[in-house]
Amino acid sequence: MRNIPNLENIIIAHRGNHNNKIPENSLKAFKLSLKENRPIELDVQLTKDNVLVVFHDENLLRMTNKNIILQETTYEEISKLFLLNTKEKIPTLEEVLNLINGNVLLDIEIKNTKRINDTCRSLLELLRNYPNNYLIKSFNPLIVLWFKKNASYIPRGLLIAKNYSKNKFINILVKSKFMINLCNLDFIALNKNLINEKKWLNYKEKMPVLLWTINSSLEISNDKNIGFICNIPFK
């Protein structure tokens, strides 16, 4: 049985508490979130040599000034790089789990990959003995379906964007009632610009909705069944 966290009006730190001096998805950003008792959203990807690391982009260029595809790189190579102009490095998920230790909710986004089985198995193994205070989500419904089949007790959600690809059929399918029912979702993580569409207004009455990405406190409301993934501190 899934232990689904209360997501109503929750404010989740998008990639931790980060700013121009503290890099996103860094241990320092997560320590600040932990200090504020703030739930944390983070991104995970698998390196070439099967280490789960916490990083958002497909390419390392924006955050490390190295034009390298993360999933084609070994952890040893990644471990030598620094985030922006700081001493912070790309953390492993294991490091982050040891730091947080269940003290705040973790909202774990699994980035898209061709190695779904390897990525999901690695994540499940790390979570086996972790305190039950987390949820998983992905833009890729095949990843969500993997957890439905192999670890149905983990709360899971589907990230909903306006467009996923240039393929019109894929855009329709991923956001369809069929796919949402097939994944047996516990929540939806919705692009904030879609919330006023009738379809999603109806869904928020059926399950929790997390809106992303919020940049100002003015975008936060008291709407029933809605939580917020926010860039903190607000700009």
Measured CA to CA, the distance from residue 13 to residue 230 in angstroms comes to 5
Q: What is the mean pLDDT of residues 145-158?
A: 97
Q: What is the pLDDT of residue 1?
A: 52
Distance, in Å, from the CA atom of 79 to the CA atom of 6, rounded to the nearest integer, reads 36
Distance from C-alpha of 77 to C-alpha of 3, rounded to nearest angstrom: 38
Task: For residue 233, give the nearest of 215, 219, 206 by alpha carbon.
Answer: 215
Q: How confident is the model over 194-199, as a mean pLDDT?
A: 92
Strand partners, 136: 108, 156
Does 4 have pLDDT greater than 70? yes
The residues, any chain, with a CB within 8 Å of residue 102's CB and separated by 6 or more, are: 130, 131, 132, 133
Measured between alpha carbons, how far is 101 from 88 in angstroms, rounded to an integer? 20
- How many residues make up the chain in this entry? 235
Segment 18-74, tens digit of pLDDT: 999 999 999 999 999 999 999 999 999 999 999 999 999 999 999 999 999 999 999
pLDDT tens-digit profile of 161-171?
Answer: 988 877 888 88
Specify the pLDDT at position 164. Answer: 82
The C-alpha torsion from 7 through 10 and 14 to 16, rounded to 10°, is: -110
Longest dimension (CA), the chain: 48
Q: Which residues pair with 140 in a beta bridge?
A: none
Q: What angle, 0 to 180 degrees and rounded to 10, lies between the N-to-C axes of helices 116-127 and 141-150?
A: 50
Nearby residues of 161 by Cβ (< 8 Å), 6 or more positions away: 139, 191
* Strand stretches in the chain, DSSP E: 11-14, 40-46, 52-54, 106-110, 134-138, 156-160, 187-191, 209-214, 226-230
Beta bridge partners of 11: 228
Q: What is the pLDDT of residues 99-148, one digit of tens each?
A: 999 999 999 999 999 999 999 999 999 999 999 999 999 999 999 999 99
DSSP single-letter state for residue 92 = B
Q: How far is residue 95 CA from its own chain's centroid?
A: 17
- Spatial separation of the C-alpha atoms in residues 225 and 37, rounded to whole Å: 21
Catalytic residues: 14, 56
Cα 73–chain centre separation: 21
Position with higher pLDDT, 229 vs 85: 229
% pLDDT > 90, the chain: 88
Domain with residues 11-230, CATH architecture: Alpha-Beta Barrel (3.20)
Q: How far apart are CA 121 and CA 150, in angstroms?
A: 9
Which pLDDT score, from 0 to 100, does residue 124 have? 98
